[in-house]
Amino acid sequence: MICKVKKRWNNLKKITRKIHRVSDALKFPIFNKKIFLRVFGLQIAGVAIALSMTAYPTHAFDYNLTKLDSWEAINPVVTTTNSEYAFPLEMTLGMSQPYHALHTGIDLRAPRGTRIFSMAEGTVIEVERIFVGYGHFVRIAHKGTISSLYAHLNKVFVMPGQKVQKGETIGTVGLTGWSTGPHLHFEIYSGKNTVNPMDYISK
């Protein structure tokens, strides 16, 4: 009888030791408030630093780089929907997000691999291939201080400094960067400010 009691008592002590070890482990460092806040703060700081190093399109550039032989003067671009500007896609399934204060361009849905066209004659001034933000994107300077930006590309067929014609293929639709599906994010700048692309292009 005494042996059984001792055996049970020893088993109970082993169990309680294990329980104490688990509780001590949980107290440190998971449930230590100061350490938890420090670790969480370091994670937030790391994300902020990573995002600050992300390449995004520059909103200002030297317009002297955009001069073509045929451009004798900087002419204002009249907002229109006529054939002066080419539609930037060979086909689209529709606009999934319009231009507004929190979205500086339009999102045109299209199958992956759909050809993307330059909306007008110009000079390629920016080409980036990154995996966040706008993903692979191209920016082209046109007549005056107008520039267009094409983002989330799958393939890019142009390089900085290259002159392109209206309707020339510059890449294909993809879903690079922060994208939930294949589409073209299309922006138009007048100087440093974005404008509604739908005021310039029509299908």
Per domain, the residue ranges of the chain are 2-52, 63-199
Q: Which CATH class is domain 63-199?
A: mainly beta
What DSSP letter does each residue of 57-82 carry, written as one string? --S---GGGG--TT--S-PPPPP--S
Mean pLDDT by 10 residues, the chain (203 residues): 65 63 54 59 65 52 44 34 80 88 90 95 95 94 94 96 96 92 94 91 67
- The answer to pTM > 0.75 is no
Pairing mode, if any, of strands 146-156 and 94-97? unpaired
CA pair distance 19, 177, nearest whole angstrom = 48
CA pair distance 130, 107, nearest whole angstrom = 19
CA pair distance 174, 156, nearest whole angstrom = 10
Nearest CA-CA partner of 59 in 184, 193, 163: 193
Fill in the DSSP letter of residue 63: G
Which pLDDT does position 173 carry in this prediction? 96
Q: Say how many C-beta atoms besides its own lie within 10 A of residue 185's C-beta.
A: 23
